A and B are shown apart, each in its own frame.
Chain A
């Protein structure tokens, strides 16, 4: 239970950075933390389902491999989203010279 609470706190830190911070890169930090919290929750909870890693030939009973295969996909998608978001932040910085989203919105108007 405490593990899930800490992961819940990590999730809320990610959400806090996403919404409260005005700097674009800090918002992308928040998204990365949010994604890693979800991956940690899935793998930490699945760890209880067995003794050994899902490689056949080991001694104990294997852990449920489905969450691991799903989280592989989730991690790679998280990194792709991060790379694209930072590309956009870069272009916004080039266009307006600011990294603060409210400042950028003012300088852009709705051009």
Chain B
């Protein structure tokens, strides 16, 4: 630690830790049994009601789907806020990406600095990109059976997109890398998610309820998984590609 007297920050930090430990001590000290009411209910009726073998997916897209809608909105606000801040920085952003914030294609920005890429990255990203994309789609669509789902699949798809965007040949390889396409997928995904949520109202089952009351809700869960996965993948992919352009100076 610094030799001179500890600064105000360090003293305040010690004070905060002492106060927080005092207030939170009962939580650490508590050894009560974990409640089993909901676990027993789900074990008995979870799969029949939701149709999904993976009960965590059944909860966060079925029983508590409203939380997931809120979480998707948090991600949407974070991505568009961060892009706004990075994009609006103007001069420091390579010209291609300054337009990304306003929706023009920045592919030109990617191509211009391709010459400094080594051969290794081109080969790896060129070959690996599509494989990662397929794996991401798998995780997304099989979320109700095996562990996974919208968010995890979406992030894997985003890393696939970044792989495609990094290679020098990758820039022209697929339109998927363009910020304009990603921004459009994200906006369309959000609108689709809201329409899916509104479908319940139209069909009379209620807001965010599975619309076809007869059929098992698993179809609705898979649809939500796919829409959220696309939106998360496009959003995070857009954020990483905008940052990619920004970090190269």
| A→B interface (CB under 8 Å) | 1, 4-5, 8, 11-12, 15-16, 19-22, 45-46, 48-50, 53-57, 61-66, 68-70, 72-73, 76-77, 80-81, 83-84, 86-88, 90-91, 94
Contact = CB atoms under 8 A, between A and B. Distances in A.
Interface string B1-24: 000000001101100110011001
B248 interface: no
B68 A4 contact: no
B47 interface: yes
B38 interface: yes
Interface residues of B, number: 47
B89 A94 contact: yes
A80 B21 CA distance: 27
B8 to A, nearest CB: 9
B55 A62 contact: yes
Interface of B: 9-10, 12-13, 16-17, 20-21, 24, 27-28, 31, 34-36, 38-39, 42-43, 46-47, 53-56, 59-60, 64, 67-68, 70-71, 74-75, 77-79, 81-82, 85-86, 89, 92, 146-147, 151, 239
Contacts of A73: 60, 67-68, 70-71
12 contacts: A12-B17, A15-B16, A15-B17, A49-B35, A49-B36, A56-B55, A57-B53, A64-B34, A73-B60, A73-B68, A73-B71, A77-B74
